Amino acid sequence: MVGTSALSRSHFAMPDHELVDGVELYLAAPLTVGILHMEAVRGGHRDLADAVEHAHDAGLSAAIDYLAGAALLKVGHHTKLRASRTSVGAFEAGTIPLSTATHLLVSTRDGRAMGDIARPHHHVLMARTGLDHVGRQWPVDLASVRAAAPAIVSCYQVELQRTLTNGTGVRWSQRGEYGSDFPELVEPDLTGYLDDYERVVCRPQGAGHDFWDLDAAATGL
């Protein structure tokens, strides 16, 4: 994974109004992480549930940190390449409006919360435009953001796993070992539940956004 210097990293700022035309990036925890949270809550183990939520948030911070290096502004004239989402021109770091929403339960399209198990996930709402260092507005290079989806997801998953392991001593499977796209918990062994529950994507947070399920993008779907 390639690091980025501070000079080539954008800064994210809370929008001063609700974003009406942005991109919504979706990140979700492995299924067994949600099952662990459910079992912790039902068993009265609030400290374990808190550890899951803390790891989930730590993963988001790592993902946004990487996103800052991928979400650059397309400054000045750009020439679009034929049969490609990319373009040729100048790219600069800037200030981009961004907000997040974190949920433990997913909501269906009709707004109904699914409470069978927790499915921790994050919605990251990013504007399509940002400001350069002198306050001029330019479009965000969304092609590079899309191309960075595997790395963004990896940052989220790796930091979630690291934080939860350090805090609770859990152990993880290898990726794909149980038919999952990402490592699942094997200590405690919750893999037996994987056939009982399915991955469900929460409904988008707002109207007018492009919705990008980064997990699906990262696995080539």
Render pLDDT for 74-87 as a digit per residue (tens, 0 to 9): 888 887 777 666 77
Return the pLDDT at 219.
65
Strands 22-28 and 87-92: unpaired
Is 113 in a helix, a strand, or coil?
strand
Q: Where are the domains of the chain?
A: 6-216
- Give the residue among 43, 33, 61 at the shortest CA–CA distance from 190: 33
- The per-type count for the chain, helices as H runs and strands as E runs, is 5, 13
Is 46 in a helix, a strand, or coil?
helix
User: Averaging pLDDT over each range in 13-22, 37-46, 85-94, which range is the top one?
Assistant: 37-46
Averaged over 187-196, what is the pLDDT? 95
Higher-pLDDT residue of 48 and 182 is 48
pLDDT at 13 over 90: yes
Phi, psi of 82 (to 5 degrees): -65, 140
pTM: 0.89
Return the pLDDT at 7.
54
Task: For residue 7, give the amino acid letter.
Answer: L
Return the pLDDT at 220.
56
For the chain, how long is the longest CA-to-CA vector?
Answer: 59
Q: Which of 2-6, 9-13, 14-18 has the lowest mean pLDDT?
A: 2-6
Q: Contact, 124 vs 205, CB < 8 A?
A: no
pLDDT at 99 over 90: yes
Is 76 in a helix, a strand, or coil?
strand
Displacement of CA 136 from its chain's centroid (Å): 28
- Give the residue among 26, 69, 34, 59 at the shortest CA–CA distance from 217: 26
Return the pLDDT at 128.
95
Averaged over 184-201, what is the pLDDT? 94
What percent of the chain stands above pLDDT 70?
A: 93
Distance CA 132, CA 170 (A): 44
Averaged over 59-67, what is the pLDDT? 98
Distance CA 215, CA 221 (A): 9
pLDDT at 218 over 80: no
pLDDT at 180 over 70: yes
Return the pLDDT at 3.
39
Return the pLDDT at 75.
86
Return the pLDDT at 48.
98
